[in-house]
Amino acid sequence: MATRKSSGKENAGGRKGSVAAARNGSGGPKGAGTSSRKLWDGFKSIAGTIAIFLVLRTFLIEAYRIPSGSMIPALLVGDWLFVNKLRYGPHVPFTDYNLPGYAEPQRGEVVVFESPLQADEVAIGNDGTPTLVKRLVGLPGDTIYMRDAMLYVDGVAQKLGYTSAEQTLGDGSETHPLFDWQHRFEVANTRFGEPPAQPTHDNWGPLVIPPERFFMMGDNRYDSKDGRYWGLVPRKNVRGRPMFVYYSYVTAMESDRPASFITDIRWGRLGHWIR
């Protein structure tokens, strides 16, 4: 019996169909390869987005939440703010190195920094080096002290321009073993008077701030565990300068509204620049 021969047109049509199927990704292994490429492209897109986010967060801007009232009224519990990490030089993660910034911290600025080691917090199971936000009140070379709750820098009284009725009052004669670090930096026989034998909350110093160190205090000074307790902040610990409040609400501890993060928003705080 004679075998039917395929025509040239049929062969050409078959080849064209095979090429079209390959281009469309059908036909077994070819389709599987295209799916793998799509998955890989999707993964690269997600990984790239995450990488960009991490770079921005590490070196440029980071969000920060205010958990305590130590900076009332400049910052309130429940404020969410953006921190400019580029200003003072971003910190390289997992190292002790900071990249150069375009400005140095100045007296009176609100600063975000890593706390010096707080052994008392470690002893009770807390983070010994938390990230904090306070106001810089003492620069390297400054002679700083407190008399009757008034802060002095080089003999000049630093009157609080940001007090409010929300600030708590306390016992200025309080003493604490954590104040004892001050003795290493005290100076005697100066025109600023002699340091007290036992530093108290409202009476201590004079201290001379050494190079590459800062003295930080909270604005709400009777509700602030600050430099009086844990000491001087190394320059390398500085992390950034708060910019503005992008979100703020009355926390559940102070609000009687359900879901206060939605129902008790401080609309007047949104966009508030921090000074």
Q: CB within 8 A of 257, min separation 6: which ones?
A: 250, 263, 264
The span from the CA of 19 to the CA of 30, in Å, is 11
Task: Please identify which of the residues 16, 26, 44, 134 carries the catalytic annotation.
Answer: 134
Question: Which burial class, exposed, middle or buried, applies to 239 when counting CB atoms under 10 A from its CB (0-12, 13-18, 19+)?
Answer: buried
Residue 138: strand pairing partners: 215
One-letter amino acid of 114 = E
Task: Please identify which of the residues 6, 16, 38, 70 carries the catalytic annotation.
Answer: 70
C-beta separation of 90 from 241 below 8 A: no
Three-state secondary structure call for residue 204: strand
One-letter amino acid of 103 = A
Name which of 156, 172, 157 is nearest 228 in CA terms.
172
In total, the chain counts a number of residues equal to 275
Does residue 134 have an active-site annotation? yes
What residues are labeled active site? Answer: 70, 134
